[in-house]
Amino acid sequence: METICADIQVVRDLITFAIDQTIYIKSLYYYHSSNEHQTEEYCYIEEAQVLLGDCNGGKHQSKHSMEHLFSLDDLCQDNFAGLRNWYNNYHLLKPIIDLYELVFYNVGLTPEIRFLTLMQALETYHARFIDRGDMSLRKRLFSLFNDNFLVMGYSLEGFIGKLVNTRNYYTHYSPAKERLAFRDEELLFANGILHWVVAYHLLCNIGFEEHFIKDKVYRHIRSIGRQFQHYGIVQSEV
């Protein structure tokens, strides 16, 4: 039963990531010989319910399939390569997935907590899949970003520098660091970009082709850029 529940969690997290929406398991039942009953006429196995922590998680409205990051058909390409990659890497991906889900499926989080959680997700991904060495946060971010993520008027160096300053401001608070950090509306847009950077690397890890990922991720990044321009926020590199 423990193995079955673990496999269910793997699939649940995959679907949650694919449709960008939390999946709640309302109920789960199993049949086992320990629940076998014998009558004069026949023998039968009674179903038993598995108690799950999210069984009363609530209902959610399904998104249109066009809004999903990928489908089952996408995962089944190349002899189910995507499914195999997810399953084989899941033990390493799990902390990153938990952080990703915490941020975007928990409406009560403040922008500051969202930012710190996303930064932790990126650092964890880098340490587990790119380089486990002792690297600075700045160097880790440079290896995770590319110019396609830049839609807020910053250079790559300027944006990453401000991410580092923001993390340091909220983690090691000092009034002098405040002017160096993303704050207010700009922090919301920075969080949006961080969201899609995490999604980008998760999609890469599954094994999707670059052109597929660009279509799914970069159009959301461009949408963030259009909204940023609409609000006319003045940014500054420090």
pLDDT at 58 over 50: no
**If residue 140 lies in a helix (H) or strand (E), which one and from where to where?**
helix 137-144
State pLDDT tens for residues 147-196: 878 777 888 899 999 999 999 999 988 888 888 999 888 898 899 999 99
**Contact (CB, 8 A) for 15 and 23:** yes
- Indicate the burial class of 80 (C-beta count within 10 angstroms; 0-12, 13-18, 19 or more): exposed
Q: Whole-prediction pTM value?
A: 0.79
pLDDT grade, residue 92 (50/70/90)?
A: very high
CA distance 184 to 182: 7
| 213-225: average pLDDT | 83
